[in-house]
Amino acid sequence: GDFVLQPDAWVEHKEKHKHKSLYLYLHILVHLACLLVILSFNQKYWAGILIIIASHYVIDLAKLHLQNKFKQGGLFLADQLAHIGVLLFVLNMYQPFEISLKSLYSTPVLLFLMAILFVTFVTAILIKNILGNWKFIEQSKNESLKNAGKYIGMLERLFVFGFVILQQYQAIGFLIAAKSIFRFSDLSRAKDRKLTEYILVGTLLSVIFAILTAFMYQYARQIIKN
């Protein structure tokens, strides 16, 4: 209802006219129709349907009025979490369930979280300090996104970590090749080898740390099982 059956024109009209927008109410009707079809018009679920529809209208209306006061990404996340919260509440009405956090404190889960933290934030700091001796200005800061390189490196290491865990080693080569293609324009503009060497060292360090972290994680997990 939010992503497939809501045209961009509806979204733009809602953002401009808020509660006066006809498309806001059409959007709610779309959700109502989806719920009725999915639940086969079963009268057993009418109370839940009314709660979902009413809350969806209130949440969407609140988002429209807060859109200029908060960043779009954070507001979008809060909006979706609110919708999911309502769905869980209604689900609990018909099929009670419990959410236990005890499983999160198990050794395997904590080990996995530690590995993820190390391969992202800790490794980012290690690489930054290792490359700290080589500083040069290749382009103005206005030409790149803030902290983009840091997050690209984190995502790169997460991919490599996952590939090693899944034993898809050939995918690591594909990832490095893809990154090289995207950075080709930067490398071709370089007047000397400094930028090329800097990028290569950073990339290789990133990959090495990710692979080592994955191997250490697998080794530690095997010890836990035994």
Query: What CA–CA distance (Å, rounded) separates 136 from 138?
Result: 6
3-class DSSP state of 106: coil
Query: What CA–CA distance (Å, rounded) separates 199 from 188?
Result: 13
Q: What region, left, alpha or beta, does residue 40 occupy, with left being phi > 0 and alpha being psi -120 to 50 degrees? A: left
Given pLDDT bands bounded at 50, 70 and 90, which one contains residue 195? confident
pTM of the model: 0.70
How many CA atoms does the CB half-sphere of 55 hold within 13 Å?
18
Q: Which residue has the tokens 């009405």?
A: 93
Structure tokens at 191: 């007047």
Structure tokens at 186: 């930067």
Q: What does the pLDDT read at residue 184? A: 63
Q: What region, left, alpha or beta, does residue 41 occupy, with left being phi > 0 and alpha being psi -120 to 50 degrees? A: left
* Mean pLDDT, range 98-111, rounded to an integer: 84
Q: What does the pLDDT read at residue 144? A: 66
Mean pLDDT of the chain: 88
Q: What is the pLDDT of residues 124-153, one digit of tens each?
A: 999 989 888 776 555 545 566 778 888 989
Residues 6+ apart with CB under 8 A from 115: 161, 213, 214, 216, 217
Q: What is the pLDDT of residues 62-89, one digit of tens each?
A: 999 998 888 888 999 999 999 999 999 9
Q: What does the pLDDT read at residue 139? A: 52
For residue 187, the one-letter residue type is L
DSSP tag of 119: I
Lowest mean pLDDT among 16-30, 77-91, 100-114: 100-114
